[in-house]
Amino acid sequence: MKRGVDLSRLRARQVCPEDFERFDLLLAMDRANLVHLKRGSRPEYHSKLGLFLEYAEAFEEYEMPDPYYGGASGFEQVLDMAEDAARGLIGVLTQTKK
């Protein structure tokens, strides 16, 4: 919890067909997973799909790297990227609500 983020209670799950209707936005961390989401959804839901890092402002990458291959600094970089993309996403979402 070095950066104040406690992930110990979070659990991942697979996307299910109902998610495409239930959620306004489904974001993948890389292009391979984005392709998987597109293949698993009907065309009318494709506009809800995208890459999380498209919302990052300080990074040019569109795919989140796997932190396990970068050691401790790899995890720090991924957290930096995720925080940047989250700020950008929040900015977009709050603009559209006004």
Tokens 């890092």 belong to which residue?
A: 53
Confidence of residue 1 (pLDDT cuts 50, 70, 90): low
15-35 pLDDT, tens per residue? Answer: 999 999 999 999 999 999 999
Confidence of residue 65 (pLDDT cuts 50, 70, 90): very high
Which residues touch 19 (CB under 8 Å, ≥6 apart)?
26
For residue 45, what pLDDT is reported?
98
Measured between alpha carbons, how far is 12 from 20 in angstroms, rounded to an integer? 17
User: How high does pLDDT run on average in the chain?
Assistant: 92
CB distance 78 to 56 below 8 Å? no
Tell me the pTM: 0.87
- Give all domains of the chain, ordered by start, each with its CATH number: 17-97 (3.40.50.2300)
